[in-house]
Chain A
Amino acid sequence: MIMSEKHHVEEHRDDDAKKLGMWLFIFTELLLFGGLFLVYSIYRAKFPADFHAGSLELSVTIGAINTIVLLFSSMTVAMALTAIQKGNKKLSLIMISITLLMAFVFLVNKYFEWGHKFEMGLYPGSALIQHLDRGFLLYFSLYFFMTGLHALHIIVGMVLLFICLFKVKSGNVHTENYTFLENGALYWHLVDLIWIFLFPLMYLIS
């Protein structure tokens, strides 16, 4: 059986390919953090009391605010995409800007959280942290490592969103060609998704 199609060889873009590519990249990020979650789960099982004590040093309030902030920003970026699909460029720009603002608020909160820890002498490699009990030390090391890696991804996400902002503004991304924004939004949702798990595991250990 022979199959053939005489077909023009023309330039075509493939939005499905780009979206699939983004999802595949998201898979790698999930597994990257997955490795850390694995280490976390091993050591939490080994030092449950220390992990609980460690989490008491964190502010549930700030953590909760950051969670709300990120959830809200996830909604706004999704709305930005809806807006562009409906051809509403202005609303899309507003929504992306709000998302960026929320991201910035998150980072500011993080800055204060970490700053407070640093003032207490609690930072990777510090004399204080070296002398903590094993479980305690591991908890704080994982705290800095995981929230730090997460914050790095927030920054990358913000860069992507800024590029989305410019592309929407310039008309490069519009109602018939919005894959870039769609993918940027997917990346942002990933950052939110990771935090959804990070928050209870770091802040709410009872």
Chain B
Amino acid sequence: MANNTSHTTEYRVLGRVLVLLMTMTFLTITVTSFNLGVFSVTVALLIAGFKGFMVLSYFMHLKYENLLLRILVGMIFVLFALIVLITFIDYAYR
């Protein structure tokens, strides 16, 4: 039974991640102001996905957690993606 042996993330690392996240936010706003048609969703989601990945990895410590937990988190997103994709098999072809 392990007791509180979590990795300590340095303040400056957290600060840099925040700067990165804010930059990505402004990027999203800029990019979506252009009319990219169907790609605007994709780009917005990709950037959001990257931001999410940063929050998960650094703020939520996943980068420093054991492999099992990282695999589980990945599987959740895969499961959700599959559910959306499969539902669209219905809607796309009706």
* Interface residues, chain A, with chain B CB atoms under 8 Å away: 12-17, 19-20, 23, 27, 30-31, 34, 37-38, 41-42, 44-46, 60, 64, 67-68, 71-72, 74-75, 78-79, 81-82, 85-86, 176-179, 182, 185-186, 189, 192-193, 196-197, 199-201, 204-206
Contact = CB atoms under 8 A, between A and B. Distances in A.
Given A68-B22, A200-B47, A204-B44, A75 B83 contact: no
Contacts of A193: 52, 55-56
Contact of B1 (A16, A44, A176, A186): A16
Given A197-B48, A201-B44, A189 B69 contact: no
Interface in B45-74: 45, 47-48, 51-52, 55-56, 58-60, 69, 72-73
A182 B48 contact: no
A41 B15 CA distance: 33
Given A75-B59, A85-B6, A196-B52, A41 B11 contact: no
A82 B8 CA distance: 6
Nearest to A186: B60
A19 B62 CA distance: 12
A16 to B, nearest CB: 5
27 contacts: A12-B3, A13-B1, A15-B1, A15-B3, A20-B69, A23-B69, A23-B72, A27-B73, A30-B77, A30-B80, A31-B79, A37-B84, A64-B25, A68-B25, A71-B18, A78-B14, A79-B11, A176-B4, A179-B4, A185-B59, A189-B56, A200-B32, A200-B45, A200-B48, A204-B29, A205-B40, A206-B35
A30 B60 CA distance: 14
Contacts of A34: 80, 83
A81 B11 CA distance: 10
Given A31-B76, A79-B14, A189-B55, 10 more contacts: A13-B1, A15-B2, A46-B91, A60-B29, A71-B18, A82-B9, A178-B4, A179-B4, A196-B51, A206-B36
Task: Say whether chain B's binding surface is mostly helix, strand, loop, or mixed.
Answer: helix
A37 B36 CA distance: 22
Interface string B70-94: 0011001101100110011001000
A149 to B, nearest CB: 16
A85 B80 contact: no
